Amino acid sequence: MNPTASVNDRIQLIAAGKSDESTCSPSLAKGPWEFDKGTPGYGPGASMGDVIPTGSPVQGGLPEEYKTATNDELHARIRAAKETLGDKVVILGHFYQRDEIVQHADYLGDSFQLAVAAKGRPEAEAIVFCGVHFMAETADILSNDNQKVILPNLAAGCSMADMADIDSVTQCWEQLEELYGTEPDEQGRVPVIPVTYMNSSAALKGFCGEHGGIVCTSSNAATVLEWAFERGQRVLFFPDQHLGRNTAKAMGIPVEQMPLWWGRKPLGGNTAEELTDAKVILWNGFCSVHKRFTVEQIEKARAEYPGVRVIVHPESPMAVVDASDEYGSTDYIRKAVEAATEPTTFAIGTEINMVQRLAAQHPEHTIFCLDPVVCPCSTMYRIHPGYLAWVLERLVAGEVVNQITVDESVAEPARVALERMLAAKPAN
């Protein structure tokens, strides 16, 4: 692996037969517009096996000129449009975005950091969010009324977020209410508190706001669970089972008291006794990218690099977190690498664009992704420079395309759940 080559360059070399690396799908070398229409799944890559729910936004056609332009031409057009727009636009780039996008971002961060950053730029009338759909929704919820949030490619969804939809969660909630009732115990704790990971639709954040619940990030999940257990006997955690399980286990909750809720089955496939005994009910969602990390990969890294420091994201399966040296959010991983004063070998279990960037930024360390296959988050990957050039040039022409708007009836309770999270003192 060339530590300075971008993930896209590596994928192009693999597709051209000029590399001995492998990718989870050679189709990633194509322009994402090849997958805008008529695909049953999210397209090639780590989340290709996950089905797009009906009703998800669909990207219309990208004008031909943006598909045929070279990368150099696109970068020049993006820079020119940005310069013309000046302070009226702010471009946000998620840690998992490809380098070809990140180089144009005013801010780089995780989804919540970026939504907060946008709020700090009130003069920006347009927020171009280079991330995925739920992130743009959160930015719209938290941004000022005069700010318009734009997602350059509407097909950039998140398969994990889509694993929990408002109808299924509402059905689950009705069954739990029927089983537990709604009366608090003698300590004033209600039977169950809903907690949603930031990686969820605005509708689910709103659901939590309306039902005494809260949002969490991968940085503050333990703080948020403590908040919830002060107010409830149990937690219903969605959509990511792994973040919920890893966090609750570290708090001392036995795995046996964390039943998995399968959306379509009565009582989520559990008995009434199992649910009564439960402390955390885990929604059966997962991240297709972080699910790829395995204990075998960690064992191989330890065998090949004695003394390697293994850090994984808590969206990884429990066995992987248990086998690692440390686990934490994207921001935790970034800070851990930056804080290492001695040359260190890091094996990292998170999205490859971020790992590759850390490797390029820190030549004093040896940094590699645990997964040897070049497999980015395929939906993040749909934000190609062609789409960024298109939305910016439309802004220059006075037209807002691909705006993400959360109805105020949803945004208001969602804000309540987000404010509870902030009051619960998130880490960082």
For the chain, the first-to-last Cα distance in angstroms comes to 33
Q: How many CB atoms lie within 10 A of CB 17?
A: 8
Task: Provide, rounded to whole angstroms, the least separation between the CB of residue 276 and ligand SF4.
Answer: 31
Task: Provide, rounded to whole angstroms, the least separation between the CB of residue 422 and ligand SF4.
Answer: 22
Task: Please indicate if the annotation marks 258 as binding a ligand.
Answer: no
The helix (run of H) or strand (run of E) holding residue 128 is: strand 126-130
Strands 89-94 and 126-130, bridge-based pairing: parallel
> What single letter denotes the amino acid at residue 95?
F
Alpha-helix runs per DSSP H in 287-384: 295-304, 318-323, 330-339, 352-361
How far, in Å, CA of 112 to CA of 135, rounded?
Answer: 8
Strands 260-261 and 214-216, bridge-based pairing: unpaired
Q: Residue 187, class by beta-carbon neighbours within 10 Å (0-12 exposed, 13-18 middle, 19+ buried)? A: exposed
158 is a contact residue toward ligand SF4 (CB under 6 A) = yes
Task: Please indicate if the annotation marks 130 as binding a ligand.
Answer: no
Task: Provide, rounded to whole angstroms, the least separation between the CB of residue 12 and ligand SF4.
Answer: 21
Task: Please indicate if the annotation marks 377 as binding a ligand.
Answer: yes
Q: Looking at 8, 47, 147, 247, which residue binds ligand SF4 (CB under 6 A)? A: 47
289 is a contact residue toward ligand SF4 (CB under 6 A) = yes
Site string for ligand SF4, 48-87 (x = CB under 6 A): ----------------------------------------
Site string for ligand SF4, 177-206 (x = CB under 6 A): ----------------------x-------
How far, in Å, CA of 36 to CA of 86, rounded?
Answer: 30
Q: Using CB under 6 A, which of the segments 155-163, 185-193, 250-258, 320-328 binds ligand SF4?
A: 155-163
Task: Please indicate if the annotation marks 198 as binding a ligand.
Answer: yes
Closest C-alpha among 249, 243, 236, 213 to residue 330: 243
- Asked whether 293 and 312 are in contact (CB, 8 A), the reply is yes
Q: Using CB under 6 A, which of the segments 72-80, 138-146, 218-226, 281-289 binds ligand SF4?
A: 281-289
Task: Provide, rounded to whole angstroms, the least separation between the CB of residue 380 and ligand SF4.
Answer: 6
Site string for ligand SF4, 112-141 (x = CB under 6 A): --------------------x---------
310 is a contact residue toward ligand SF4 (CB under 6 A) = no
How far, in Å, CA of 13 to CA of 23, rounded?
Answer: 10
Q: Which residues contact 50 (CB under 8 A, 6 or more apart)?
A: 41, 42, 159, 162, 163, 288
Site for ligand SF4 in 317-346 (CB under 6 A): none
> Nearer Cβ to ligand SF4, position 380 or 418?
380
377 is a contact residue toward ligand SF4 (CB under 6 A) = yes
Task: Please indicate if the annotation marks 375 as binding a ligand.
Answer: no
Task: Please indicate if the annotation marks 174 as binding a ligand.
Answer: no
Q: How many CB atoms lie within 10 A of CB 227?
A: 20
How far, in Å, CA of 363 to CA of 51, rounded?
Answer: 39
How far, in Å, CA of 353 to CA of 340, rounded?
Answer: 20
Task: Provide, rounded to whole angstroms, the least separation between the CB of residue 402 and ligand SF4.
Answer: 17
> Nearer Cβ to ligand SF4, position 211 or 382?
382
Closest C-alpha among 321, 332, 384 to residue 358: 332
379 is a contact residue toward ligand SF4 (CB under 6 A) = yes
Q: Looking at 8, 97, 143, 159, which residue binds ligand SF4 (CB under 6 A)? A: 159
Site for ligand SF4 in 219-278 (CB under 6 A): none
280 is a contact residue toward ligand SF4 (CB under 6 A) = no
How many residues comprise the chain? 428
How far, in Å, CA of 45 to CA of 43, rounded?
Answer: 7
Q: Using CB under 6 A, which of the segments 75-83, 227-235, 373-381, 393-401 binds ligand SF4?
A: 373-381
Cα 243 to its chain centre, rounded Å, is 12
Task: Please indicate if the annotation marks 330 as binding a ligand.
Answer: yes
Q: From the annotation, which residues make up the binding site for [4Fe-4S] cluster?
A: 158, 287, 377
Q: Interface with ligand SF4 by CB under 6 A: which residues? A: 47, 96, 132, 158-160, 199, 287-289, 351, 377, 379-380
